[in-house]
Amino acid sequence: VSQLLKIGIAGLGSVGIATISCLQRQQEMLTARAGKRLELVAVSARDRERARGVDLSAYRWYDDPVALAQAEDLDVIIELIGGAEGKARATVTAALQRGTAVVTANKALLASHGLALAALTEQRQTPLLFEAAVAAGVPVIKTLREALTASRILSLRGIINGTCNDILSRMAVADCDFSAALHAAQAAGFAEADATQDIDGHDAAQKLSLLAMIAFGRKIDPAQIDRHGIRNLSRHDVIQAKRDGKIIRLVAAAQLKSDGVPQLRVAPEWLLPQDPLAQLQGPMNGLVIETELAGSLTLSGLGAGGDATATAVIADLVDLARNRHNLPFGMPVANLH
Amino acid sequence: VSQLLKIGIAGLGSVGIATISCLQRQQEMLTARAGKRLELVAVSARDRERARGVDLSAYRWYDDPVALAQAEDLDVIIELIGGAEGKARATVTAALQRGTAVVTANKALLASHGLALAALTEQRQTPLLFEAAVAAGVPVIKTLREALTASRILSLRGIINGTCNDILSRMAVADCDFSAALHAAQAAGFAEADATQDIDGHDAAQKLSLLAMIAFGRKIDPAQIDRHGIRNLSRHDVIQAKRDGKIIRLVAAAQLKSDGVPQLRVAPEWLLPQDPLAQLQGPMNGLVIETELAGSLTLSGLGAGGDATATAVIADLVDLARNRHNLPFGMPVANLH
């Protein structure tokens, strides 16, 4: 058994930099927990010259992430490029083909190509971990996949898009319209310059499809999810909801029907204040899981941000170092209905 | 690799029977998730003749759980006898000595002898899993030990004794005194005939010590915890709290001090209604975890009951079948301060 886990990181945005910073600062604690030194060896990004606030001089540099994924001395590639296609998909595929484990936060890639990638992980016996893909540091995937294996899951109901929750929180608190709240969220770093994926509900639908595949053991196409965004909510809607004692939130929900098929939906909902999801403010995420045997479980916490997401990335590295693998969807692809 | 995980269960109370019932009913789903058939082979309890509502005829019977633990054909013993000493301790020790994995729900045993047992698991390279020891099906141990490995934990604050929470909920809702609420909780199956361990805070202190050892990587003696029970709370206290807009709950808390030593306390607290712990009614449990990098996480759900606790027991079996081991306290005993 090697005493090192040799790591390559593809993509040096806020999550990548937070991951590097954490690996640099917490070396001793992480070695005790992982049983191996988590050793960052190489990195890749588009622009080598950009100032990123961490010292990268000790790491091998690759302009091409696919070349990083094909490096012969790495045990694991962390893919933080993002997007369902292009370099992200090529990098993850190349690593798994080689037998190099992959940790990723890329929900778009997994929602579109998760089944094919899961089949590849089985064929190559190479782990693919993605706790960071949903709800940042809140372990929703680990909980569904490992803690609730004994019980049928009856429904999921969650706030899993921090951007929309931040915008809706701002509209209610600051009494402003959608575009002002969007701009404020962008200025605060909780929304990207192009927020389409978030505000139209695509991001929540992608994440919901992953959670539902794990929870219900079924193949789910995110494009088939009944999806409504928050773009058309007006200041008037929020004021009227307040008057009615309600709070508007973008809710992602999956409910098992009597035929065993889950029904999935992403849409704004008018919640009562005592609803656990109504109390989540700003970039908080939360998930309520109804089970057959263990009752109702609720998990909530910070659903966005570099440090919180890096926490999930590094938890996956420690699991990998300790050989705590899992199949991507908790069971072989052949068992998914 | 064997395609069976051969199981023995010691202790056939409500959790043991719920575990057997779940193993019998969910065989197909569990095999897909575990990659092996979870095969119950043998059971042990004091009274063979007692009617238990499940068919035990297919399983080998042992009057002595230590003999069960020494059986040569078992991969794992589930210890559900309870208590820090006596047969429970002897059974767990015998199994680990033999190299047979152990799954247990026994917080008293772990709080008193966890360090010695953890040393034994390291020496014998034999897993000891105990998700069911705290908060039933709510994966608080897995979250602290595996999901938050990257971040220093700053504090824990939780409701981790369902009996006390049920009694305090009843006192507030039914406007009754402590002994009437205790009797009602006993009648509802949420308090044992001898509820001393619960109402004097011993049970919560044991659970808190386990959570704090994992969260802070420190050795903690539950006998040293500042501990106050709920026995002396009167109907008047509850009425007065209501008048003040407060809700009384038994809170278990651990806070990291500037010298790196956690300060632990179990005591009734007068909570504001918006406190996430104040909203937990009846046998619900909840834990708020403050972290350095991932913000504040909250987990809540049913903290008691046979089915909910069996969910955690079986999750440990599936982890074991998939070789997702961990060290009991997340790092070697030698690394605990």
| Range 204-263 of A in CB contact (< 8 A) with B | 217
Q: Which residue of B149, B274, B294 is in closest CB contact with A33?
A: B149
- Write out pLDDT tens, residues B52-75: 999 999 999 999 999 999 999 999
pLDDT at A315: 97
- Write out pLDDT tens, residues A189-242: 888 888 999 999 999 999 999 999 999 999 999 999 999 999 999 999 999 999
In A, which residues are within 8 Å of B332 by CB distance? Answer: 32
More reliable by pLDDT, B210 or B326? B210
Segment A272-294 mean pLDDT = 95
CB contact under 8 A, B335 and A136: no
Distance CA A211, CA A208 (A): 5
Provide ipTM, 2 decimals.
Answer: 0.96
Which residues face B256 on adjacent strands?
B262
Residue burial A223-233, b: 16+ Cβ < 10 Å; e: rest:
eebebebbeeb
Cβ of residue A314 closer than 8 Å to a chain B Cβ: yes
Percent of chain B with pLDDT over 70: 99
Cβ of residue B300 closer than 8 Å to a chain A Cβ: yes
Residue B282: partners with Cβ closer than 8 Å, 6 or more residues away: B162, B165, B166, B169, B190
Q: CA geometry: angle at A68 spanning A65 and A71, to 5°?
A: 160
CB contact under 8 A, B293 and A147: no
Distance CA B329, CA B315 (A): 18
In B, which residues are within 8 Å of A18 by CB distance? Answer: 293
**What secondary structure, in 3-state letters, does A257-301 show?**
CCCCCEEEEEEEEEECCCCCCCCCCCCEEEEEEEECCCCEEEEEE
Segment A66-78 mean pLDDT = 98
Per-residue pLDDT band at A2 (split at 50, 70, 90): low
Per-residue pLDDT band at B1 (split at 50, 70, 90): very low
Segment B259-282 mean pLDDT = 94
pLDDT at A1: 44
Segment B123-141 mean pLDDT = 97
Segment A311-331 mean pLDDT = 95
Q: Across chain B, what does the average pLDDT equal?
A: 95
Q: Which of A26, A290, A298, A337 would you mutate first to test chain B, the one with the most B CBs within 10 A?
A: A298
Which residues face B267 on adjacent strands?
B251
CB contact under 8 A, B138 and A33: no
**Cβ–Cβ < 8 Å for B91, B109:** no
In A, which residues are within 8 Å of B152 by CB distance? Answer: 26, 29
- Write out pLDDT tens, residues B166-195: 999 999 999 899 999 999 999 988 888 889
Segment B113-129 mean pLDDT = 97
Q: Say if residue A208 is exposed, middle or buried (CB neighbours under 10 Å; 0-12, 13-18, 19+).
A: buried
Is the pTM value of this prediction over 0.80? yes
Distance CA B132, CA B79 (A): 11
pLDDT at B2: 58
In B, which residues are within 8 Å of A151 by CB distance? Answer: 22, 137, 311
More reliable by pLDDT, B1 or B259? B259
